Structure 1
Amino acid sequence: MFVRHLILLGIVAAAYSLPLDQANWQLVPNADGYLHLVNINPYNLPEANPSDPEVLFNPETDIEFRLFTRSNPTQAQILQINNPASITGSNFNPAHPTRFTIHGWNGNGNDGMNSRTRDELLALGDFNMITVDWSVAAVTPNYISARNAVGPAGFGVGRLIDRLIELTGANVNNIYVIGFSLGAHVAGNAGKHFNGRINTIIALDPAGPLFSAGQSDAVSPQDGLYVETIMTNAGLLGANEPLGQSNFYPNGGRNQPGCGVDIGGGCAHGRAPAFYIESLRSSVPFRSTRCASHDEVLGGVCTPSGPDANMGGQPSNFGRGVQGIYFLTTNDASPFARELTLETVKQRLLGEESKRADRADFSIEEKSAAFVGEAGGGKKQQRFNGKCHRCGKTGHMQRNCRVKKPESNANTVVGGMC
């Protein structure tokens, strides 16, 4: 189902990039392989295709909320907005953090993104894992119909959170909502329901076709106390613009290593949930460089501009001052996270940082070796033979550089390159 969803969305995205007079209708397969004529022109009402009418969708009754905890890690308990006993009689524990996961177009609650996120987090600790199945609206060859349902679906998620707070005393500050593709916009709309008070929204390659930054039902930086996007197929299946407070562009955010030709973008699109799921328990973080601009990172270039940050992870970056545009590289297969190696740092330092005048006396190899030593907790420290730009001495470990503070005569150990 997940792969078919990516194929369908890829066809629509490709058609969406064509002039409207060439792209009003496309034949696409459904989950069973049958072809449907799909109207992907936003200016032509779905009713123009009577075989694929817009789905009637009541979010309060048509969304299935599946609760998993360590007490029931694989057998779901169904929570219902209008059935208080389904909540109070469940294993939901308001003392535990709550995580919602939301699928995309033509997906459902059984999608791998949902089950794998659930399994990783329950292996990590006690969580209330709630899978949002909005397939009544999402499973349709009519992309516009599914796209137009993200607002109501997000409202439905918000209504369940209302009930959890009302009936159990759950704390909205202990809730994350994680969505993929169209589900990322559903997550954003759940945040809008709470005027941005949900702790964290994670938007995994939010769907791009028929969305743009600033639209009322698109995920936005204001939807949560912390909103993070992971962009892996920007401009095709995924949105092109930064839609979060922090926006991570692995490998430049458009194409992903290991995906081959990937004409429809499905492989790259699917890397966003794969990266996020790995980040939850990986001993190697997805370390990312903050970049000067969105435009340059899409070209695979990053001028360092501020502190580094980790992409994804548990807990999130909430409260850590992480915001802006971030670039990172990954491996072409799992495990995707890359250790801070001499080569990756060398590539990073070949950017603007390597041009700093106070380090011009050192080769890129020397600077890379020092950086790896600093980041590696001393395990790979290298000794310079050159002249230290901080103290003027030679032949000492970069962590042991001692300089005098201007306001004091006391020698102070200075981290950072020397």
Structure 2
Amino acid sequence: MKKLLLLAVLKLVKIISSHEPPITGRIFPFNLLNCRITSEVCPNKDITFYLYTRTTQMEPHELNVANPETIKEAKFVTNRPLIVLIHGFTGHKNETPNTEVRPAYFRRGEYNIISVDYQPLAVSPCYVHAVLNLPTVANCTAQLINYLIQESLFTLDNIHIIGASLGAQTAGMMGNFIKSGKLKRITGLDPAKPLFVFAKNSHRLGKNDAEFVDIIHTEVMLRGVLFAIGHVDFYANGGLQQPGCDKQKQKMTGNCNHVMASKFYAESINSEIGFYGYKCSYWLQWFIGLCQPSNQTELAGAFASKEARGSYFFKTNSKPPYAQGK
């Protein structure tokens, strides 16, 4: 079993570091634990989309480009932004970042929120296969966005993509498939690191994937990326141990530090004091103590300035409200 897993990993690294077309549709010479790679077809039965609004959040409406009536019948809130949420490994429409971010936006006001659900393609322990499925998830999500723009329901100016973990990397891949221009904003909530360190740019999230890419890092030593990859990168508590995620809680949940990025972002939507980080040139400089809090600060989260550039560091409380303000 270990030998088969090693072969799978080596093959994946070769694929994602190559300069070949998107990696969907590649079939391994064996089937590991019934893991599978979906077809490249969009729409795809394994990838579904649900529209939530403030008044319909308990009864979301499924959208299907193959059935235009589902989009015509959808009760989009006119003149309000569209937020697209993409979950990570082992997730679904009612997992991080959806459960944190959706209700926070609806407490603030009227929004159109589409939750992408690709649960059948991201089941445990099939991480390698989940990564291979991401370009198809990105393609199908972009297909829906392209259709909504074509039907004049939205423009790129009022669409915001938010992805957590693998969902953040998926958001980055969407730029390969958007037809009408570049996405305006992508927010990456602790983007996944395993198998993406050496991936080529078109297969991972980076600052070229949208006009503004902002990142919140919360677990840089394990699941999340360490290096700055956006226009602005915020490191909560240095991206290391998060207050409130003690060893017992981390052992129970397995990913407490990782999901805190989604919790911090959700709180930022309605916070009166906000998460303000001070600037430091890069993470290692902060880690060895060469950076001190300064007046050069930026606000992290939902209302981050689109002019912000560089790396910023902020501390949080161990329980809500997490924000400490300036």
**TM-score clears 0.5:** yes
Q: Distance in 2 between matches of 1:299 and 1:67?
A: 45
The answer as to 2:160 corresponding to 1:193 is no
1:50-129 matches, within 5 Å, as 50-57=32-39, 58-62=41-45, 63-129=47-113
Aligned residue identity for 1:308: T
TM-superposed CA distance for 1:94, in Å, is 4.7
Residue aligned with 1:216, SS:
helix
Q: Which stretch has the larger CA shift, 44-53 or 209-218?
A: 44-53
3-state DSSP class of the match of 1:72? Answer: coil
2:16 counterpart residue number: none
How do 1:264-343 residues align onto structure 2 when only pairs under 5 Å count?
A: 266-299=255-288, 302-303=291-292, 307-313=296-302, 315-318=303-306, 321-340=307-326
Report how far residue 115 of structure 1 moved: 3.0
Cα distance in 2 for partners of 1:170, 1:270 equals 30
Whole-angstrom CA distance in 1 between matches of 2:259 and 2:308: 24
Deviation digits for residues 178-214 of structure 1 (CA, Å, limit 9, x no counterpart): 0110011111112343387222101000011011265
Take 1:40 and 1:267, find their aligned partners in 2: how far apart are those partners? 30
How does 1:1-400 map onto structure 2 within 5 Å?
42-44=9-11, 46-57=28-39, 58-62=41-45, 63-194=47-178, 197-212=182-197, 214-261=200-247, 262=250, 266-299=255-288, 302-303=291-292, 307-313=296-302, 315-318=303-306, 321-340=307-326
The answer to whether the 8 Å contact 1:280/1:312 transfers is: yes
Which TM-score applies when normalising by structure 1?
0.67
Aligned-pair CA distance for 1:248: 0.5
Aligned counterparts of 2:8 and 2:319: Cα–Cα separation in 1: 36
For residues 117 and 42 of structure 1, the distance between their equivalents in structure 2, rounded to whole angstroms, comes to: 33
How many equivalent pairs are there?
304
The CA deviation at 1:277 is 0.6
Distance verdict in 2 for CA 1:192–1:304, change over 3 Å: farther
1:273-295 Cα deviation digits (max 9, x unpaired): 11111111111200111112232
How large is the RMSD of aligned CA atoms in angstroms? 2.5
SS class of match (1:272): helix
Alpha-carbon distance between aligned partners in 2 of 1:39 and 1:95, rounded to the nearest angstrom: 50
Larger Rg: 1
In 2, the alpha carbon distance for the partners of 1:42 and 1:235 equals: 20
1:324/1:127 CA distance change after superposition, 3 Å: same
Query: Does 1 or 2 have the higher relative contact order (CA < 8 Å, sep 6+)?
Result: 2
**Aligned-partner Cα distance in 2 for 1:307–1:201:** 24
CA gap of 1:258–1:51, structure 2 versus 1, over 3 A, is closer
* SS of structure 1 residue aligned to 2:203: coil
**CA distance 1:255–1:72, shift in 2 (3 Å):** same
Supply the distance in 1 between the matched residues of 2:95 and 2:283 (Cα, whole angstroms). 31
When residues 202 and 298 of structure 1 are mapped into structure 2, their CA distance, relative to the original with a 3 A threshold, is: farther
Q: Deviations over 1:81-107 (max 9, x none)?
A: 222211122112452100011110111
2:20 alignment counterpart: none
Alignment CA distance shift 1:50-1:322 (3 Å): closer
Structure 1 alignment gaps of length 5 or more: 1-21, 26-37, 341-418
Give the residue type in structure 2 aligned to 1:133.
Answer: D
Cα distance, 1:270–1:88 mapped onto 2, change above 3 Å:
same
Q: 1:306-340, CA deviations, whole angstroms, 9 ceiling, x for partnerless residues?
A: 83111102x4422xx20111101111111110144
Task: Write the letter of the residue equivalent to 1:283.
Answer: E
Aligned AA for 2:151? Answer: L
Give the whole-Å Cα distance in 2 for the aligned partners of 1:169 and 1:44.
41
2:291 partner SS: coil
d(CA) in 1 for partners of 2:33, 2:6: 11
Cross-structure match for 2:22: none
Q: Secondary structure at the match of 2:225?
A: coil
Query: CA contact under 8 A between 1:101 and 1:178: conserved in structure 2?
Result: yes
Contact 2:82/2:112, CA 8 A, preserved across alignment: yes
Identity of aligned residues (%): 31
Q: Is the 8 A contact 1:94 1:171 kept in 2?
A: no
User: In structure 1, how many angstroms separate the alpha carbons of the residues matched to 2:176 and 2:233?
Assistant: 19
